[in-house]
Amino acid sequence: MPGKHKVSYAGLELEVEPIPEERGIYFTDESPEFILKIHNTLNKRIKSSGQGAIIWFYGFGSGSPEAMTYGPPITFDVEPKGTIERKIGNKLLGYQGNGTIGILTARQKDVIQSENDQERILKLPPMGRNYETLYTFTVMEREFYRKIYEYPTKLAKIMTILTILIAIFTAISLYQLSQ
Which mean pLDDT values do the consecutive 10-residue runs of the chain (179 residues) have? 89 95 91 96 92 88 79 94 96 88 85 81 82 92 84 81 90 84
Claim: this prediction has a pTM higher than 0.75: yes
Do 79 and 167 belong to one domain? no
CATH number at residue 118: 2.60.40.10
Domain count, the chain: 2
CA 58 to mean position of chain CA atoms: 8
Do 35 and 17 belong to one domain? yes
Distances (CA, A) of 54 to 42, 58, 105, 173: 17, 14, 8, 72
Q: Which domain holds residue 173?
A: 143-179
Q: What is the tens place of the pLDDT at every residue in 137-170? A: 999 999 978 888 777 778 788 889 989 989 998 8
Do 103 and 135 belong to one domain? yes
Of 60, 84, 78, the residue nearest 70 (C-alpha): 60
